[in-house]
Structure 1
Amino acid sequence: MGRLRENKMVNKKIHIIGKNNELLEQLCKEQSEKLDVLSHEDLNEEIKESFLTKIVFLTEAENYAGTLKSIRQKRKDIFLVGFDQTSGLSGKDQYVHGLNLLKETSSNLVYSYDDKTEISMIIAPEETKYHETKDQEETLKNLVEMAYLRSHLTFTRSTVIAGEPVSWNSELVPEALRTVINYCIKQGAYKTFRGSTVGHFAAKLDEKTFLTSRRKTNFNDLDKIGLVKIVTDGPDSVLAYGSKPSVGGQSQRIIFGQNQKYNCIVHFHSPKKKNSLVPAVSQREYECGSHECGKNTAQGLKKFGNLSAVYLDNHGPNIVFHSSINSQEVINFIEENFDLAKKTGGYVE
């Protein structure tokens, strides 16, 4: 018999683009032996096109924002980390500056450093920040860990087909959900950044059909923008009629699937009040919209009266209930536990 050829798995790659990144390269190698770490002075098309590319850290480039943005335009599966530098900004302004870069380029994380204050922080797409400190190495270490953890998550991409928004005042929208969301809007729970609001909400119509908030819209204009109808035939098949659903759509379906007695969900990015008894679970490891984020949320839910809730740390609550609930019970619960005037990550309007 001929000699059997050894079947070796080919490792995925972490690409670090830029000069003088020895510390970052070392931290990446320490994080995981399962990914090959490669450093380059310049970005090339092969890195963007190779199916082996897992994570890209782009520390510098000509036309930086444009180059950074180009990496995920065709490859949403690449986990992209951008780098932003400011000079003498307040912590809030430094955060907003980096968040603008993240949103503009569809980055998964942004590392921000101010050369005057020496403050560094990690900025996440859920519009919050982590590990704000003057210890640059400590922040970089956590950046690498977060990138590794979040790059191994599972996502289901929705397919947009022809369709029209469902009116916010449609009979299909449960009255309890509409009343609660209208209350949240009136109290300022949905704050805009770059013309859009974060958070999400949805109603389950049947096992396969959902009405959910629309991605990259301003929820304060619900009477104009309405909701999007979603039909799913399993965890890997999602049809969206007319526009993309909120990023949290997959989490909604997982939560409903594990809590059959509920058919409404509300999520906003406001902090928990000091004496709240709502349990908190970590969000740091999970990017919004991943299956793992949905499971983490569902497992953390605790029952309060006729509803259940959990608080995603440094992110915001998920509150689930049945459409038959007295909406005032939900509103009272929100008033007792969350400060809708404030926003996790900082006020960004």
Structure 2
Amino acid sequence: MDDQQIDGNTFINEVKGKYVLFYISSLGNISKEELLRLTNLYKRIDQEYNCKIVWIPIEGNWTDEKKESQFMEWRKMMPWYAVQYFSSPSYMYLKKEWKVRGNSTVVLINPQGKVKNTNALPSIKDASINFFDFLDIKVHTMLKPVVAHITKEDTQLQQSMENKGYTFFIGGKNQKTTSELCNKIIKAKPAIEKELKIQIGLATVTAASETEKTFWNGMENLFFSLAHYSKEYEYEQVTKEVHKLLSYKLHKDDIDGWIMLTKGWTVVTCGQSNTIFTTLEEFSFWKQHIIGKEWGHAFTKHHDRLITGKKGLSCITFQIAGNAPMHLDCPVCDDPMETKLVKYNCCHPRLQNAAN
């Protein structure tokens, strides 16, 4: 199966209890650039995550000598395992169960043998080894890989988040927006800090920068990871907040910006600046609902009332690159159809039904 000619049982022992990336492609749709990226990644994930890569080449005619030669050429460039003479029935299984497409793809299996991602290649290309920070995420540390690039230069903020302190993350369409939002938050939060004897951190997601790009890539990776946990009670609320936050990326007419409140490395709530500021300004009205120092819960409840009480209720719309939850097969060739962009849009069915 690899250069050492190990047998199937030895291979199973090699990957047992480890993450496995199945790199699936035809002999004709591999690029040297893609192989170089995976090779650089493999050197680290093998050591840091005990993760193995297995190449599954999909080819219909293994009796062709040119195919054999092509296989060996690609094989020499791979420091990981490879399967040769992969059969058509096996390919049909991958096509049905893993929705394998014509393009190269990566399927991730966790140490328990469960499929974690059937299209991990785009995320790996965007995040490299950081993609693995989103595996088996914990609700209390889920934001760490998303905002680590923002907090790493601020030792005090990082320490506060490690200690489950509260932080406002601020973003908007331009630098002027985020600067104005920062100034407003700085003016609004002292009353809360004085009353509750706490310190509230502040960080910005700089508009039109690598910081912003990395932030949104991380949030999208978190979205796919949360898909495995979204029905669990502990993850349900933060999943909703992540969905809400992703919708702000699409707001082309957004001149006021957005704000995310966190406690430690998890999301408490997020919203557009007007409702967040109103919540801060109305602190004296809802502070009696704070139990101990859990003001984040009371903050969220008051903020939610403001959102649902707005006239012309605006639900969320967001789109994301990746696989749709439901796969479709081509009606002509029966191959799985590729979905490069998924759009989620609330059409207010409850409001429409109520009006009828």
**Which TM-score band (shorter chain)?**
under 0.3
The structure carrying a bigger strand percent of its residues is: 1
TM-score (norm 2): 0.26
TM-score (norm 1): 0.27
Greater Rg, structure 1 or structure 2? Answer: 2
